[in-house]
Amino acid sequence: MDTHSSIDALRQRLQGHSRVAFVPTMGNLHEGHLTLMRAARQYADTVVASIFVNRLQFGPHEDFDRYPRTFDADRAKLATAGVNVLFAPTESDLYPEPQGYFVEPPDLQHLLEGAFRPGHFRGVATVVLKLFNCVQPQAALFGKKDYQQLMLIRAMTRQLALPVEIVGVETTRDTDGLALSSRNAYLSPAEHQEAPRLIKTLRVLRQKLLDEGIAQRETLEQEAVAALDKHGWKTDYIAVRQQADLALPRPDGQKLVILAASRLGQTRLIDNLEV
Ligand code: PAF
């Protein structure tokens, strides 16, 4: 595996490669990322990963500065996961001048995660488009754990006619059900034990939805929030939405997904469950 930080060097390296699969990351890699890397091999002869902690998607009070940067360990993991090329730009490689052009996603950016993280998805969409322009992949893989991010990137790719196939990959979980996330590193040992309650609560909600019907949605969402918060969580939202567009469920039987974000101590965890 070779590593490039400049866009020019990356482009030279990839010249003549007709099938490239791409996995963008912000580093601090765990088994979930490595699952994406291994899956990428099915889509291309050349697998490119990127590591870039993207300032544009962090709010002023978020964890940009303390976001774990573990470059050497990440590089070793990528090499063993069969990645061919690592793109690891510095901030001045990717943003040599202040970024004045942005991708402004539609209303979907203001819902759910977007309501709690203003500007987040604008920063994500902008960097993903820029990374796509650098790597020019034929396929790009994203985890379903960041469900809304995946929806937004799919929609951006469709609406801007980008020549890349977006692949969503199932969430990787610990044996206790906890979704793997770089932010799990912030949890104390006691919080780590408590954290699987999030997915367990979503599973209970899913079963009740199936038993009692969609008409009970709001009551069941509120019950789920109360079930978490009585164990010390501070829940931002638990919401049942349509998989296709994350809109409120219509009565015509669209496929549903339950999305959640909740704070355990200082750590904000997100998860989701398709119904
Ligand atoms: O999911 C992430 O790690 C980031 O949002 C991404 C897609 C790498 C963009 O910075």
Indicate which residue's Cα is closest to atom 1 of ligand 1.
25
Can you tell me whether residue 64 is helix, strand or coil? coil
How many CA within 13 A on the CB side of residue 20?
A: 25
Give the separation between CA 216 and CA 208, rounded to whole angstroms. Answer: 9
Answer whether residue 253 shows pLDDT above 80: no
Are 119 and 80 within 8 A, CB to CB? no
What confidence tens digit (pLDDT) does each residue in 188-200 have?
Answer: 999 999 999 999 9
Indicate which residue's Cα is closest to atom 6 of ligand 1.
25
150 CB less than 6 Å from ligand 1?
no
What confidence tens digit (pLDDT) does each residue in 220-242 have?
Answer: 999 999 999 999 999 999 999 99
124 CB less than 6 Å from ligand 1?
yes
146 CB less than 6 Å from ligand 1?
yes
Token reading at 206: 């899913």
Indicate which residue's Cα is closest to atom 5 of ligand 1.
124
The residue count of the chain comes to: 275
What confidence tens digit (pLDDT) does each residue in 17-28 have?
Answer: 989 999 999 999
Can you tell me whether residue 269 is helix, strand or coil? strand
Give the separation between CA 92 and CA 99, rounded to whole angstroms. Answer: 11
Answer whether residue 32 shows pLDDT above 80: yes
Nearest atom (ligand 1) to Cα of 25: 8
The pTM is what? 0.95
Q: At what angle do helices 120-135 and 147-159 cross, to 10 degrees?
A: 60
Q: What is the mean pLDDT of residues 75-97?
A: 97
What is the CA 41 to chain-centroid distance, rounded? 20
